[in-house]
Amino acid sequence: MKTFPTICISIILLLLAASLPHSVARGDYNIALGDNQFEVLWKINAWQNLTGFTDVTTTVFPANMSISLNGTELSAFSASLQQTLQTKVTSVTIDQPSVQITSNSPTYSCETTITCPLQWLNLTARFNVNESPIVQGGEARYDLSWKTFLINDDLKAGGMSFNSIGEKYLISALDPFVNFPNGLGRSMGVTIGRLPVSNITYVTPTSHIDFLDTSPLSTPLEDWNLTRDLIGGTQTWTSPNTAGFNVVGALRFTESGSITSFNYIARAEFSAQVSAPVGAFAKNDTLFVDTSGNIWEKTSFSIMLATIGIFLGTVILERRVARDTWTRRKAKKRT
């Protein structure tokens, strides 16, 4: 049976563990509540080896880019983003947008998909989202349903389309895959996401693939995974889902009972996180934030420290009493 000091120490350790910052991997699509606005950092990393297939000679991703949007191209991005977000929350506006896009050269024709160098396309966007919350009883309510959106405009960087990936590039690139002549000992299967497609059905789902798409993150914020950092004063919701796209052309050769597989893929995937001060909570996609000076945070931290102090004092007092009792018993035996 555990002694009282042991139980106290165990409780103290649990309290200390709860107060320490949790190690949370940073997401790719990050929304952080700052000074009356949400700061957004969004990174999309895509790659493809479709061009490694002998019959693909068209573009899959725009090549050799190293561009920071400016002028009319940045204005077009900002206008599309704000208009799309306002379809969810009419009062939001964006400011301070910046977009950096980089890519490398594709490799055409490879003997195997294992050794075929990948072409990558990376985008980093930063912007602030301003929203006038409803404030009632010392509590601000932010509608975060704008976190999920789809931009389907044909946006450009350096004159090259970078958003309408499906319509501008993948429809043509997939033509030799969906029209591959299946025969004895060889077959080609093409999937868009989890949907198997043919040369008759592939155009519609492919044309709907856009680079700037967070719609798979539609799970309400309330149901995202929550972690707290009491010392740092923040808490973070992490989406249980990821967003992006996945296009696969799977080539199979069967000979003498053995199967050789070659997978040609165009893919992008990103995770998401939302962070706010400790004490905020989510209901559906509404974020409730204390505006009374983080009383919950200060009170909870003070209670935790006071509890630890009480337990430490109790342990010290019990040990001192036990020591004095043992000393008196020892002295009595000597006499």
Residue 263's identity, in one-letter code, is N
Axis-axis angle for helices 4-19, 295-334 (nearest 10): 160
* Structural domains of the chain, count: 1
**Distance in angstroms (rounded) separating the CA atoms of residues 86 and 64:** 33
Note whether residue 44 is domain-resident: yes
Cα-to-chain-centroid distance, residue 80: 22
Identify whether the C-beta of residue 77 lies closer than 8 Å to the C-beta of residue 69: yes
Long-range pairs for 27-30: beta carbons < 8 A, 24 or more residues apart: 27/238, 27/239, 27/270, 27/271, 27/272, 27/273, 28/270, 28/271, 28/272, 29/214, 29/217, 29/243, 29/270, 29/271, 29/272, 29/273, 30/272, 30/273, 30/274, 30/275
**Distance in angstroms (rounded) separating the CA atoms of residues 87 and 247:** 29
What are the tokens at 261? 């597989």
Q: For the full predicted model, state whether its pTM sits above 0.75.
A: yes
Predicted local distance difference test score (pLDDT) of residue 110 = 86
Note whether residue 58 is domain-resident: yes
Identify whether the C-beta of residue 236 lies closer than 8 Å to the C-beta of residue 282: no
Note whether residue 246 is domain-resident: yes
Cα-to-chain-centroid distance, residue 193: 18
Note whether residue 327 is domain-resident: no
Note whether residue 251 is domain-resident: yes
What are the tokens at 238? 């992490």
Going by C-alpha positions, the residue among 220, 194, 317, 232 that lies closest to residue 272 is: 220
The range of the structural domain enclosing residue 53 comes to 4-300
Going by C-alpha positions, the residue among 130, 118, 134 that lies closest to residue 287 is: 134
| DSSP element (H, E) containing 8 | helix 4-19
What are the tokens at 164? 């309408």
Predicted local distance difference test score (pLDDT) of residue 87 = 96
Sole residue written with tokens 């501008």: 168
Identify whether the C-beta of residue 221 lies closer than 8 Å to the C-beta of residue 142: no
Strands across the sheet with 134-136, in order?
134-136, 139-143, 286-290, 281-283
Note whether residue 180 is domain-resident: yes
Note whether residue 311 is domain-resident: no
Note whether residue 64 is domain-resident: yes
Identify whether the C-beta of residue 139 lies closer than 8 Å to the C-beta of residue 291: yes
The dihedral through the CA atoms of 58, 61, 67, 71 has a sign that is positive
For the chain (length 335 residues), average pLDDT per consecutive 10?
50 46 64 92 97 94 97 98 96 96 94 87 98 88 96 96 97 97 93 97 98 97 94 92 97 86 95 95 95 56 49 55 56 55
